[in-house]
Structure 1
Amino acid sequence: MGSLQGHNIVVVGGSRGVGRAIVETVLSEGATVLAVARGAADLKQLAWERPRVKTLVADATREAAPDAVFAALRPDVLVMSAGALAPSAPVQDQNWEDFSANWEMDVKASFLFCKAALQGGLKPGSRVVLISSGAALSGGPPNSGGYAGAKRMQMFLAAHSQKESDRLGLGLRFMALAPMRIMAGTGVGQGGIAGVSAYLGISPADFLASMTDVQTHADVGRAVVALASCQAQGISFTVSGSGLAATA
């Protein structure tokens, strides 16, 4: 414990689900933590339960969001965990707004914050971790619209941003972390489980029972701590029940 003592960590999308698990884990490691989210009520609850956590209400897809967040706490480690609920319908039954939901939220927010980091928003040595998904590698279920593509784009974005940091000599580290299995206990996870199981014509319980090597929220939090505090080589990583691993 205490591996992140003296570190400032910002978790965008930190009020619920995986983001909240990350907040709680890095807080337990001694970091100063700012949780950013759109929902004031969820942030208020988080602050009541974890008084050491700083909070900021902000929409991460707004152009001005990175400046507001970095003004509230300049991070040594920035974690982008904000994400939209994936659609849950066959492609032919979706409209473009449904299909592009994760591009307009997950990818746009990641893009804006990576851009701000490269433009001088973060000091040399800072790290940026984009929370992707195992769907980026597997293709995801066929009723999830642009979700898998959006999560893959976050991996590409981390790689592109790293190349720019290296080219410009900025000393920043960009990484993408993909939890490999869908997780119950969050709005996004529960929605995905319900949608996929209905599409497959099985019960949510049977769908969950079919999965192996499933990571927990705590596993994701520990993976973020590892990426924040060690010198692991690589840009894209996965986390499963077996632990953290670099992608090939």
Structure 2
Amino acid sequence: MTEPHELKVLVVGAGRGLGRGIATAFAESGADVVALARDGAALAALTDTHPTVRTHVADGTDAAAARHILDEYQPNTVIVVAGATPVMRELVQHSWETFSVNWDADVKIAFIWAREALLKPLPRGGRVVMVSSGAALNGSPLSGGYAGSKATQRFIAQYAQVESERADLGITFTTVMPRMTPAGDVGRAGIRAYAHQAGLTEDAFILQLGPIVTPELAGQAMIDLVSLDPADSAAGYLLTGAGLARLS
């Protein structure tokens, strides 16, 4: 088991929401944390409260930037949270451009970081965690291609795990699928759209969701996950307000 002080964690998409919560939790546990996001102001706000966190402003879809960042910071743990906020509307109201927003962002991000982690490669014992969405399991009819893109992130992690094993790299790829939460831009957009469709207030809709996934809970879940033996963590997990549940 890797102790927190031995972890060198790169969080891709650490500017806000669950990504920020994950970066914060690892920093508070004593890990060496690099927070990556496109929004420099959001990263500056993170370092105001957690000055040990190193930051890097970059676009997670930029393959050259991914290679450079892995070479510069030499992480042994990469947690990919970044993605686009889907356009929320009924299928017939979508164009292909609005429907495919998350294919051009979320799928590309997962592909790039999984590929670069294999090509570098990360050190033996390294971990890559793709933070997908519960929509990958249940669908999301108002968010265009979002659910399919999140399911594809899980497939990418599975393919990468197979390649790691074939090449005996010792890198573990895991997918975590959080339930809808108001803690981030994507969840708030979904809550707003589905509450309107159901004729509910947003607060009433949130009450139906049960225990909420918070940034703090997501951060602790990631710490718990990377503390597992790799043989137990190369899988998919659902993340709810009650914590992680391994999927068969």
Q: How does 1:58-137 map to 2 (within 5 A)?
A: 58-137=58-137
Counterpart CA distance in 1 for 2:216 and 2:46 is 17
Rounded to whole Å, the distance in 2 between the matches of 1:194 and 1:137 is: 21
In 2, are the aligned partners of 1:162 and 1:172 still within 8 Å (CA)?
Answer: yes
Q: CA RMSD in A?
A: 1.5
Counterpart residue number, 2:245:
245
What is the CA-CA distance between 1:188 and the residue it aligns to? 2.1
Q: TM-score, normalised by structure 1?
A: 0.94
Partner of 1:53: 53
**Which residue of 2 is the match for residue 203 of structure 1?**
201
The ranges of structure 1 where at least 4 consecutive aligned residues each deviate by more than 6 angstroms after the TM superposition are none
The one-letter code of the counterpart of 1:106 is D
* Contact kept in structure 2, 1:35 and 1:43, CA below 8 Å: yes
| Residues 1:169 and 2:168 aligned together | yes
Q: CA deviation at 1:119?
A: 1.1
Please tell me whether the aligned partners of residues 158 and 174 of structure 1 are also in contact (alpha carbons under 8 angstroms).
yes
Contact preservation (8 Å) 1:234, 1:246: no
Identity %: 36
Aligned to 1:214: 212
Tell me the SS of whatever aligns to 2:120: helix
The Cα shift of 1:23 comes to 0.4
Aligned twin of 2:26: 26
Quote the Cα distance in structure 1 between the aligned partners of 2:164 and 2:109.
19
User: In 1, distance between residues paired with 2:213 and 2:44?
Assistant: 28
Q: State whether structure 2 residue 223 is matched by structure 1 residue 225.
A: yes
Task: Output the amino acid matched with 2:152.
Answer: M
Q: Which residue in 1 is equivalent to 2:5?
A: 5
Aligned residue identity for 1:219: L
Q: How many residues align?
A: 245
Unaligned runs of 5+ in 1: none
Residues in 2 aligned to 1:212 and 1:185: alpha-carbon distance in whole angstroms: 14
Displacement, 1:70? 0.9
Change (3 A) 1:177 1:13: same
By how many angstroms is 1:3 displaced? 4.2
Note if contact 2:124-2:169 (Cα within 8 Å) is conserved in structure 1.
yes
What CA deviation, in whole Å up to 9, does each residue of 1:59-101 have, x standing for no partner?
A: 0111212112213311111000001101111111111221111
Decide whether aligned partners of structure 1 residues 186 and 215 sit closer, same or farther in structure 2, where only a CA change above 3 A counts.
closer
Q: Is the 8 A contact 2:161 2:234 kept in 1?
A: no
Deviation track 1:148-185 (CA, whole Å, cap 9, x = no partner) reads 111111111111100011011111100000112x1113
- Structure-2 separation of matches of 1:189 and 1:207: 12
Deviates more, 1:192-201 or 1:53-62: 192-201
Counterparts of 2:98 and 2:130, CA distance in 1: 22
Task: String of CA shifts for 1:9-64, please: whole Å, max 9, x gaps.
Answer: 00000010000000011111110000000111111221222111100000011121
Amino acid at match of 1:73: Y
Report Cα offsets for 1:113-167 as digits up to 9, x if no partner: 1001111231211000000111111112x11111111111111111110001101
Q: Give secondary structure in 1 for the equivalent of 2:4.
A: coil
Residue identity opposite 1:74 in structure 2: Q
Deviations 1:172-214 (A, max 9, x none): 100000112x111322222221122123332111211211243
Structure 2, gaps ≥5 residues long:
none
Instruction: Give the TM-score normalised by the residue count of structure 2.
Output: 0.94
Which range is displaced more, 127-136 or 45-54?
45-54
User: What is the distance in 1 between the residues matched to 2:120 and 2:52?
Assistant: 28
Q: Is the 8 A contact 1:9 1:31 kept in 2?
A: yes
